[in-house]
Structure 1
Amino acid sequence: MTSHRDLIRRTYEGSSEENGRNLLAVLHPDVEWTEAEGFPYAGTYVGVDALMAGVFARLASEWIGYRAEVHTYLADGDRVAAFGVYSGTYKATGKTMRAAFAHLYEIQDGKIRRMTQYVDTVMVGKALS
Structure 2
Amino acid sequence: MESKARDNMNAAQLLTINGLYDSSASRAYYAAYLAAWYHLSNIGIQPGHKTQKGCYYWRHDLFPELLCDEYKLVGPFQMEKFELLYSRRIKADYYIDRVEKEEAANSIQLASDFVLFFLDNKGNPE
**TM-score, normalized by the shorter chain, greater than 0.5:** no
Task: Specify which structure has the higher proportion of helix.
Answer: 2
Q: Which has the higher strand share?
A: 1
- More RCO (CA 8 Å, sep 6+): 2
- Structure-1-length-normalised TM-score: 0.30
